[in-house]
Structure 1
Amino acid sequence: MAHEGSCAATRKAFLLTLLFASSAALSQTTYYKTYTLPAEAVTPVINTLYQDRQGYILFIIGS
């Protein structure tokens, strides 16, 4: 049980790292530059989408 908790924590840390890396990548995309949204506006949206549907952020970054 403790082992499973450790794995879950590690997975969550990895996903959070991926999220922040994706946020940084998004700021460099054409979409970001086209709409000129400040990072302060973009990041909360990404965080909300990520919390609501894990993995959906990958669709956004990949599209």
Structure 2
Amino acid sequence: MTTVDLTKAKEVVARFDANEANRFIKAGWTLIGQAHGKDESGYPLTKYELAWLGDGDPVNPQR
């Protein structure tokens, strides 16, 4: 993964759904990390961490 200067991030979000994370990426967000694990019931999950590094206000693809 490419090194990113997080001091330039205007907002950071975490998402647990790959489709939702992909919508953020298509809207201009940068994937800065991901983690894999299990929830309290043992169900596997993945967390996607995204940062807005673009000019202007962060674009929210959910709005």
Q: Same fold (TM over 0.5)?
A: no
Higher strand share: 2
Structure number with the bigger relative contact order (C-alpha 8 A, sep ≥ 6) is: 2
With the length of structure 1 as denominator, give the TM-score of the two structures: 0.31
With the length of structure 2 as denominator, give the TM-score of the two structures: 0.31
Higher helix share: 1
